[in-house]
Amino acid sequence: MTQMRLHLTFPEERVREPIIYEICRKFPVIVNIRRADISLDSGWVELEMDGELADIERTVSYLRDRGVHVDPLEKSILEG
Amino acid sequence: MNSQSAPHQESERTLAEGGTASSPKESKIKGLKCRECGRLYPAVAIHICEFCFGPLEVDYDYTAIGRRISRRSIEEGPQSLWRYHELLPVTGTPTVGLHAGMTPLIHAKRLGKLLGLDNLYLKNDTVNHPTLSFKDRVVAVAMTRARELGFDTVACASTGNLANSVSAHAASVGMKCFVFIPHDLEAGKILGNLIYNPTVVAVRGNYDDVNRLCSEIGGEYPWAFVNINIRPYYAEGSKSLAFETAEQLGWRIPDQVVVPIASGSLLTKIRKGFQEFEKLGLVSPNDRLKVNGAQAEGCSPVYRAFVSGKNHLVPVKPNTIAKSLAIGNPADGFYSLDVVFKSGGAIAAASDPEIVEGMKILAETEGVFAETAGGVTIASLRKLCAEGRIGRKDLTVAYITGNGLKTMEALAGALPDPVSIDPTLASFRKTVNPTN
């Protein structure tokens, strides 16, 4: 089992969709939301995701395909 | 040190050997504190609150610091950022980056005249030591702290200034160094790191892939990853820009500052630095201080949130010549936005042509050759003046954070060709005609 800590940003067109629910149904990952701030037109969620590495990778790909921006908890680490 | 053990517990021996810093009985560092929920942690190599995932910050004992610090104690200190060691998160004698900081504060009369400002100053970190950018400040502090915590290996993920500074400082003290870069980074930028002989790891993937890999490596290996597990200490180094500004202005806080925004940390820490000086009575409070931000239009998540009046940042894919500011989802973006809003400041953004123009007018009026980030700052300053957000009489400081020699490619085609002549006086007179 692997755990990743992720920062998800939801764009306006996705913020009202149950995407967290979807990933829990579609993939064998355990999601634990630790911090979030959601408004009518945008939002972010910080969570822990536990599962096999390959399943987490598939989940992250799915989130990106659905228009969710996925970063590590630290957000942009790569600096100029 | 066992390479598999996390070397983060500070020993009594290390504390007791502190030459210029606090005694172990009266440590200035109380620990780390969550910026969101306020939970306290020991001052070790961690950066996230395990309870709420908020970022951790250094928690100082200002009462203890106040008993030891004074204008005089600072003025008698070294000509480097370490003259402010009481307000930096190290407990012993500084060991890394001993010559970083104390860069010139230039009264920019000619640029000020162009922009309609009588009291414009430039904090010139283009000449910071050893790698010509403000990163030498944060890295000096981060690596000194990392050594106090027992690390022998340092790491970072960077496409430019940060990698240069970490590599150079690691070389100067013989630490092992790992630098992570995207695989398609330009050769010139890689060479600027390789000269210091770190291990440069080119990751086959995009920026998002590099970020995620580094986050995983930061959690896996017992290294001091300067902007991950050492970030609470690393970020504090930026306060020295505010300390020096206030001291060089004759112990005054300016009315306006203009700060480039990449991760957003620099802007928040400059504000914090001024607040600490005020809290300790080293300067008179200046409630008029407005903190202004500068971003490149091609990577402006904080600017966009500012103009829309929202506090949610939407991550962007960077597309700008200002590579040193190209952070698509800045860790401290929200906090920098908050500082700007609360101070009554503003954020401006500059297009690529405006960035080059900013670099040119800075060079032509003040003789300062800044990298593209400096162009962003000057172009944004110009806009803020034109919008009337900065007044003619305001005591204004703009932060120039890196040297133009690092981003020469940005000027390709933007400058006139040399005047070409034959090696004769007649050709010179005919072609150059200096009397006209």
The chain A residue lying nearest B37, using CA atoms, is A35
Instruction: For residue B135, give both structure tokens.
Output: 């990163």
pLDDT category of residue B26 using cuts at 50, 70 and 90: low
Burial call B412-425: b when 16+ CB within 10 Å, e when fewer = eeeeeeeeeeeeee
Distance of residue A51 Cα from the nearest chain B Cα, in angstroms: 15
- By the 8 A CB rule, do B96 and B169 touch? yes
Q: Answer yes or no: is A29 within a domain.
A: yes
ipTM: 0.92
| Structure confidence at residue B9 (pLDDT) | 45
- Of B214, B262, B326, which has the smallest distance from its Cβ to A77's Cβ? B214
Interior CA angle at B185 toward B179 and B187, to 5°?
A: 95
Angle subtended by helix axes B135-148 and B239-248, to nearest 10: 120
Q: Residues B317-344: pLDDT tens digits?
A: 999 999 999 999 999 999 999 999 999 9
| The three-state (H, E, C) secondary structure of B69-114, written as one string | CCHHHHHCCCCCHHHHHHHCCCCCCCCCCCCCCCCCEEECHHHHHH
- Using the beta-carbon criterion (under 8 Å), do A78 and B263 form an inter-chain contact? no
| Structure confidence at residue B305 (pLDDT) | 96
Could you read off the pLDDT tens digit of each residue along chain A, which spans 80 residues? 899 999 999 999 999 999 999 999 999 999 999 999 998 888 999 999 999 999 999 999 999 999 999 999 999 999 98
Q: Residues B121-133: pLDDT tens digits?
A: 999 999 999 999 9
- By the 8 A CB rule, do A44 and A8 touch? yes
- The Cα–Cα gap between B265 and B268 comes to 5
Q: Which residues of chain A lie closer than 8 angstroms to B54, CB-CB?
A: 35
- Using the beta-carbon criterion (under 8 Å), do B314 and A11 form an inter-chain contact? yes
The chain A residue lying nearest B181, using CA atoms, is A78
pLDDT > 60? residue B310: yes
pLDDT > 80? residue B16: no
Instruction: For residue B397, give both structure tokens.
Output: 């400081």
Strand order in the sheet with B40-41: B40-41, B29-34, B56-60
- Using the beta-carbon criterion (under 8 Å), do A79 and B231 form an inter-chain contact? no
- Of A34, A75, A80, which has the smallest distance from its Cβ to B158's Cβ? A80
- Using the beta-carbon criterion (under 8 Å), do B161 and A80 form an inter-chain contact? yes
Strand order in the sheet with A2-10: A30-38, A43-51, A2-10, A69-72
Q: Which residues of chain A lie closer than 8 angstroms to B330, CB-CB?
A: 75-76
Choice between B11 and B31, residue whose per-residue pLDDT is larger? B31
pLDDT category of residue B184 using cuts at 50, 70 and 90: confident
pLDDT > 70? residue B86: yes
- The Cα–Cα gap between B124 and B374 comes to 10
Residue B356 in 3-state DSSP? helix
Q: Answer yes or no: is A43 within a domain.
A: yes
The matching CATH number, chosen from 3.40.50.1100, 3.40.1190.20, 2.60.120.200, 3.30.70.1400, for B105-131+236-411 is 3.40.50.1100
Q: Which residues of chain B lie closer than 8 angstroms to A73, CB-CB?
A: 48, 53, 215
Pick from B256, B285, B278, B287: nearest CA to B380 = B256
**Domain count for chain A:** 1
Amino acid identity at B71: R
Residue B202 in 3-state DSSP? strand
- Of B218, B262, B333, which has the smallest distance from its Cβ to A80's Cβ? B262
**Mean pLDDT of the region B133-158:** 97
Please state, for a pLDDT cut of 70, what percent of chain B lies above it.
Answer: 94
| Structure confidence at residue B331 (pLDDT) | 94
Q: What are phi and psi of B50, to 5 degrees?
A: -70, -20
- The Cα–Cα gap between B434 and B436 comes to 5
| Structure confidence at residue B14 (pLDDT) | 35
- By the 8 A CB rule, do B45 and B224 touch? yes
- The Cα–Cα gap between B411 and B274 comes to 35
**What are the residues facing B350 on neighbouring strands?**
B296
Interior CA angle at B263 toward B7 and A71, to 5°?
A: 75
pLDDT > 50? residue B87: yes
pLDDT > 50? residue B2: no
- The Cα–Cα gap between B351 and B358 comes to 10
Pairing of strands B224-225, B153-157: parallel
| Structure confidence at residue B311 (pLDDT) | 82
Interior CA angle at B369 toward B365 and B370, to 5°?
A: 110
Q: Which residues of chain A lie closer than 8 angstroms to B312, CB-CB?
A: 37, 39, 42-44
Distance of residue B156 Cα from the nearest chain A Cα, in angstroms: 8
Q: Answer yes or no: is A24 within a domain.
A: yes
| Structure confidence at residue B188 (pLDDT) | 76
- Of A34, A69, A74, which has the smallest distance from its Cβ to B215's Cβ? A74
- Of A44, A70, A78, which has the smallest distance from its Cβ to B157's Cβ? A78
- Using the beta-carbon criterion (under 8 Å), do A71 and B329 form an inter-chain contact? yes
Q: Answer yes or no: is A14 within a domain.
A: yes
Q: Answer yes or no: is A79 within a domain.
A: no
Interior CA angle at B406 toward B330 and B415, to 5°?
A: 110
- Of B52, B54, B159, which has the smallest distance from its Cβ to A80's Cβ? B159
Q: Which residues of chain B lie closer than 8 angstroms to A71, CB-CB?
A: 208, 211-212, 315, 329
**Mean pLDDT of the region B202-220:** 88
Distance of residue A64 Cα from the nearest chain B Cα, in angstroms: 11
Choice between B19 and B170, residue whose per-residue pLDDT is larger? B170
The chain A residue lying nearest B325, using CA atoms, is A80
| Structure confidence at residue B19 (pLDDT) | 34
**Mean pLDDT of the region B5-17:** 40
| Structure confidence at residue B65 (pLDDT) | 98
Choice between B312 and B25, residue whose per-residue pLDDT is larger? B312
Residue B199 in 3-state DSSP? strand
Range among B17-31, B94-108, B185-199 with highest mean pLDDT value: B94-108
- Using the beta-carbon criterion (under 8 Å), do A77 and B227 form an inter-chain contact? yes
pLDDT > 60? residue B172: yes
| Structure confidence at residue A54 (pLDDT) | 96
Domain of A49: which CATH number? 3.30.70.260
The chain B residue lying nearest A68, using CA atoms, is B315
**Mean pLDDT of the region B132-142:** 97
Pick from B61, B57, B52: nearest CA to B24 = B61
Instruction: Give the number of other CB atoms < 10 A from CB of residue A35.
Output: 17
Choice between B385 and B17, residue whose per-residue pLDDT is larger? B385
- Using the beta-carbon criterion (under 8 Å), do A5 and B228 form an inter-chain contact? no
DSSP state string for A4-56: EEEEEEE-GGGTTS-HHHHHHHHSS-EEEEEEEEE-SS-EEEEEEEEE-HHHH
- Using the beta-carbon criterion (under 8 Å), do A72 and B215 form an inter-chain contact? yes
Instruction: Give the number of other CB atoms < 10 A from CB of residue A30.
Output: 13
Q: Answer yes or no: is A78 within a domain.
A: no
The domain of A57 spans: 2-72
Instruction: For residue B57, give both structure tokens.
Output: 């910050």
| Structure confidence at residue B183 (pLDDT) | 86
| Structure confidence at residue B187 (pLDDT) | 78
| Structure confidence at residue B340 (pLDDT) | 98
Q: Answer yes or no: is A64 within a domain.
A: yes
pLDDT category of residue B72 using cuts at 50, 70 and 90: very high
**What are the residues facing B402 on neighbouring strands?**
B133
- Of A4, A46, A76, which has the smallest distance from its Cβ to B330's Cβ? A76
| Structure confidence at residue B7 (pLDDT) | 56
